[in-house]
Structures are given as C-alpha cells and as structure tokens.
C-alpha cells in the first residue's frame, strides 16, 4: 500500500479517461456547461422570498424598503435564472442544434414569462395557505403554514417549475422539483396541472406523476400515489413518452393517507378516497370509496415478542 500516491492517482486517471471515452451520456465533456443545482436552489429561495416577503426572516421588510428589496431581488433572479436557463438551452443545442440567438431569445422569454406570472402565483398560493390552515387542526396560524409547512413549500416550487415546464425549458423544471422532493419528501413532476387550494398534509412519500390533472380545493395526505398503471410502448418496444397516463382528480376531492390511484382515470368531484385504498377505476362524483378492512386476528404475544 505504501506505493507513491502519484501512482495511485495517475493509474486511476488513465482508467477513468478511458471510461469517459467509452461511456458517453454519463459525462458532459466539451458540452457547454450544465445548469448548476446550487445556483437554481438560491434562485428558488429568492423567488420564495419574493412570493412571501419577510418569510425567510433574513431581513426585516417594511413599507419603506419593500419596493427596493423586492425590485433588487427581481433583478437578481432575472440575471441568475436567465444564465441557468440559457445553459440548459445551449446544452440541448448540443443535441438538437439550433441558432445561438434562439437560445438567447428562448431564455429571455422564459424568464419574462415567469416574472410576469409571479403575482398570479401569489394569488393561487394564498388559496393554498388557506386550504392548509382550514384543513389542519395542528396549524396554529396561516403564518405558521407559510413559514414551516413542507406541503406549501412544495406547492410554491411546483407552481414556479410548472411554468418553465410549459415553456419546454430543458432540465431546470425537473431540477427545481427534485430540490423540492429532497427537502419535503413530496415528489411532484413539474408537468402536473394543479388547481387552486391544494393541501398536501405531512406529504412524505406523496408522488404526483407528470400527466396528473388536479382540480380545485383537493386534499392529499402522506404517502398518496397518483401514478401510472402501465407504460405503453411503440412498435419498436420503446416507451411512448407524451401520453396521459396519470389520474384526473376533480374539485373538492380528498385522498387519505397511502391511497394509491393508478392510470388515466377520473375521481369525480367531492369524492373521498379512504386511507390505503388502491384504485385503478373511475370514481363517480360525491362518492366515498373505502376498502373493506381485511379481517384482523388478535392473539396473545407472550412468547412471540420478537416475531412479527
């Protein structure tokens, strides 16, 4: 082991250089730089502060400094996000080549569209905050929801990422949604279409797939999956990627913990899906769906303590 370290390094450098040659697609060499998650993370935090001014507690916001603080942040977001989106488009150009100006144009357009949507996003998020506060007896104030509820954070990030997804910005929307997934345990694909006033309580383990459509005032609890049932493949056996394969959840539906709803089905308005229900069929409106409880056995545990 007491080899000279250089040997160890150079030996493995050689092997890796060969591997980089052989296994393209897992490295990004001579491509224009990729977007950087750390910077996108920072942009996201600025956007959250713009949406909920003062909520980070990082600085005091007053009527006097408000226009300057927010104006400054909007400028910072515009620059940093434009750079990242431009990197994403240019990276894609390596694949489907296009004129440089197109990337510039698209990046400017994406940032402008997002900034132009912020006040509308605020209006929608207000309905989300209301839904959390009115739906959770443990919420002591709407402020507590804004400051500490992971479900609300996931919705704020989703409503931003979804706009960039609609504009077909490469890579960035998914990077944003995975930042949210990592922090909240809630996995919402940026493609999902979600109406006003969604409450996701607790949230860990929730999965909402790409082509899911959710109406207004829907409630979802921890561990709920809105997923795909099967993945149709084309003649060549490769996946068909742009097809509605996830559920549609209509207005005022409540889905309790660990329910699994699979496939392109519809849960009608005002319906309730009970905890642990496993559904792959449509549910009419105004319907409560419960699984018949499996019979339970009760016996003494004396000797079997360590056995399940």
- For its own copies, the binding residues in 100-129 under the rule CB under 8 A are 105, 108-109, 111-112, 115-116, 118-119, 122-123, 125-126, 129
Closer CB to its own copies, 195 or 285, in the complex = 285
Q: Give Dmax (Cα) for the chain.
A: 75
Give the Cα separation of 74 and 299 in Å (integer). 63
**Residue 95 CB partners (closer than 8 Å, separation 6+):** none
Give the Cα separation of 44 and 299 in Å (integer). 53
Closer CB to its own copies, 99 or 232, in the complex = 232
Closest separation in Å from C-beta 48 to its own copies: 11
Give the Cα separation of 90 and 86 in Å (integer). 6
Closest separation in Å from C-beta 164 to its own copies: 13
Closest separation in Å from C-beta 220 to its own copies: 13
Closest separation in Å from C-beta 226 to its own copies: 11
Closest separation in Å from C-beta 12 to its own copies: 5
Give the Cα separation of 206 and 162 in Å (integer). 17
Count of residues engaged in binding its own copies, rule: CB under 8 A: 159
Enter the tokens of residue 265.
Answer: 């089905």
Q: Which of residues 72-101 bind its own copies (CB under 8 A)?
A: 74-75, 78, 87, 91, 95
Site string for its own copies, 9-38 (x = CB under 8 A): xxxxx-xxxxxx-xx-xxxxxxxxxxxxxx
Q: Which of residues 131-150 bind its own copies (CB under 8 A)?
A: 134-138, 140-144, 146-150
Closest separation in Å from C-beta 110 to its own copies: 10
Closer CB to its own copies, 195 or 227, in the complex = 227
Q: Is 196 in the site for its own copies (CB under 8 A)?
A: no
Q: Which of residues 153-192 bind its own copies (CB under 8 A)?
A: 170-171, 174-175, 178, 181-185, 187, 189, 191
Give the Cα separation of 12 and 147 in Å (integer). 48
Closer CB to its own copies, 50 or 248, in the complex = 50
Closer CB to its own copies, 153 or 248, in the complex = 153
DSSP-derived secondary structure for 106-142: HHHHHHHHHHHHHHHHHHHHHHHHHHHHHH-TT---H
Which has the closest alpha carbon to 198: 166, 151, 137, 157?
151
CA-based end-to-end distance of the chain: 47
Closer CB to its own copies, 245 or 248, in the complex = 245
Q: Is 243 in the site for its own copies (CB under 8 A)?
A: yes
DSSP summary character for residue 293: P
Closest separation in Å from C-beta 155 to its own copies: 12
Distances (CA, A) of 231 to 41, 174, 208, 262: 32, 20, 16, 12
Give the Cα separation of 177 and 293 in Å (integer). 35
Closer CB to its own copies, 184 or 248, in the complex = 184
Distances (CA, A) of 241 to 26, 100, 164, 231: 21, 28, 19, 9
Closer CB to its own copies, 248 or 255, in the complex = 255
Q: Is 266 in the site for its own copies (CB under 8 A)?
A: no
């Amino acid at each position: 082991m007491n080899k000279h370290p250089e040997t160890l390094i150079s030996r493995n450098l050689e092997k890796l250089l060969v591997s980089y040659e052989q296994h393209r697609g897992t490295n990004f060499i001579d491509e224009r730089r990729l977007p950087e998650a750390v910077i996108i993370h920072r942009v996201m935090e600025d956007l959250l502060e713009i949406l909920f001014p003062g909520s980070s507690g990082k600085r005091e916001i007053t009527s006097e400094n408000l226009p300057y603080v927010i104006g400054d942040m909007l400028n910072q977001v515009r620059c940093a996000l434009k750079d990242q989106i431009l990197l994403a488009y240019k990276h894609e150009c390596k694949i489907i080549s296009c004129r440089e100006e197109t990337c510039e144009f698209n990046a400017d357009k994406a940032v402008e569209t997002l900034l132009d949507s912020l006040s509308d996003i605020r209006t929608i998020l207000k309905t989300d905050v209301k839904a959390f506060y009115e739906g959770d007896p443990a919420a002591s104030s709407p402020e507590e929801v804004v400051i500490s509820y992971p479900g609300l954070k996931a919705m704020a990030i989703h409503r931003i990422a979804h706009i960039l997804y609609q504009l077909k910005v490469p890579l960035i929307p998914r990077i944003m949604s995975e930042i949210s997934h990592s922090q909240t345990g809630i996995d919402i694909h940026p493609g999902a279409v979600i109406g006003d006033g969604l409450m996701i309580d607790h949230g860990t383990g929730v999965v909402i797939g790409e082509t899911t459509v959710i109406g207004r005032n829907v409630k979802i609890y921890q561990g709920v999956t809105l997923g795909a049932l099967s993945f149709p493949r084309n003649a060549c056996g490769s996946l068909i990627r742009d097809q509605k394969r996830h559920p549609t959840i209509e207005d005022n539906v409540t889905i309790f913990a660990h329910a699994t709803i699979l496939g392109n089905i519809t849960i009608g308005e005002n319906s309730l899906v009970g905890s642990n229900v496993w559904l792959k069929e449509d549910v009419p409106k105004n319907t409560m769906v419960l699984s018949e409880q499996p019979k339970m056995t009760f016996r003494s545990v004396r000797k079997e303590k360590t056995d399940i």
